[in-house]
Amino acid sequence: MTDSGPTTGGIDDLLAYLDASPSPWHAVGSSVERLEAAGFERLDETVPWRVVDRGYVVRGGALVAWHSSAAAGPATPFRIVGAHTDSPCLRIKPRPDTGSLGWRQLGVEVYGGVLLNSWLDRDLGIAGRVVLHDGGIVDIAVHEPLARVPQLAIHLDREVNERGLVLDKQQHLTPVWGTGTPANGDFVEWLAARLDVTPGDIAWWELCLFDITPAAVLGADQSMIASARLDNQLSCWAATTALAGSPPPTGHVAMIALFDHEEVGSESTSGASGPLLSTVIERIVMSAGGDRDAMHRSLAGSTCISADNAHAVHPNYSERHEPGHRPIVNQGPAIKVNSNQRYATSAASAAVFQRACEQAGVPWQVFVSRNNMPCGSTIGPLTATALGIATVDVGVPQLSMHSARELCGVDDPQHLANALAAYFAG
């Protein structure tokens, strides 16, 4: 079979995307950069919409973009790829200045299901969004070693290797970021200097700590990728790449929906449980002259691929995986199945993704978790429930999920992008 993959992208582009996206807002910016280079136009949610063939909407750390053709009618079905921009991390509290005994520290809040030990002894930068008193919003990313969560020396914890590391989220994860006596205003003064504003100009912030180590291809055979936020910015990159490189679709609207807050339940204005996707779909239908009936006819014929990374079989813990359903790196994306609806995959929706893989010449696998080891969930069931769209959950196999630095195969990101491109084009 021929490869129907996108004309843009590549592993170097993925690495650049990951390095430029230390927060959900930066991930949106990275996707916007690629979409605008392909001719996509931003629409404002606060004004009436007109018909555009290539458009996108940004709401906080979320993005919805679509590609249609002049022949698309108001009841044209959608082919949607969903993913999420956020990753588990440590976020800086509103009043972060703390510390004692000669150390200046930053108060942080654990965001999502963080693999806590992976954040120890790493050089951490700061990234996110700052709101100014004049209403301005500024994104900031400081790729410098600013903070560190130091681990207790083995001499003071002699049994750590036998007992296992136990971390208290409140007590043990407060990073150091300087020496001396902490004072109220230390952090806001530093932040203001970085933004070239006064401390009084800053009203609020949403800021993440992140590992500043760049994404990299590794292995003696160069067969792996190590990076922060592979879950799930890898899928965001693949979806963006596929949409940006897709030809005008015939008989459907190609769409991507990159949501925020998946790691904490998706219940927000920019999360998958919110109205963002349904609102955008409705406005596209209405701007094309349709009504509510046309929208429901459109949804009835629509499909969705929920792309969120899968658990590759771990060579040191193979007993944790279900025999016969253990994804292997560099052997293609996995179709994720759970009869208890933690994933939205059905037989019919699985066949949709399988056909896309076959059209693209991409291998695919199946992931099912053990009965005594329940799996997580994704935006797939949320989208299927809210909109009644047939949905399949898929993902690139990876190790170290929710670590500060994760691992996947070098071939699988492009496999996923090519399969999504075939899905949009088919």
For each of the domains in the chain, give its residue range(s) and CATH number, in order of start.
11-87+228-425 (3.40.630.10), 89-211 (2.30.250.10)
Mean per-residue pLDDT for 323-348? 95
The SS3 assignment for 287 reads: helix
Check if the beta carbon of residue 398 is closer than 8 Å to that of residue 231: yes
pLDDT at 6 over 80: no
State the pLDDT confidence band at 5, using cuts at 50, 70 and 90. very low
Mean per-residue pLDDT for 406-421? 98
CA distance linking residue 307 with residue 82, whole number of Å = 6
Q: For residue range 356-400, what is the model confidence (pLDDT) as tens digits? A: 999 999 999 999 999 898 788 899 999 999 999 999 999 999 999
Query: What average pLDDT does the structure give for the chain?
Result: 95
Question: Which tokens go with 383?
Answer: 């989208």
CA quadruple 225, 228, 233, 237: dihedral positive or negative?
negative
Q: What is the CA radius of gyration of the chain?
A: 22
CA distance linking residue 391 with residue 397, whole number of Å = 19
Q: Which residue has the higher pLDDT, 1 or 97?
A: 97
Q: For residue range 38-89, what is the model confidence (pLDDT) as tens digits? A: 999 999 999 999 999 999 999 999 999 999 987 788 899 999 999 999 999 9
344-367 exposure pattern, b = at least 16 Cβ within 10 A, e = fewer: bbeeebbebbbebbebbebbbbbb
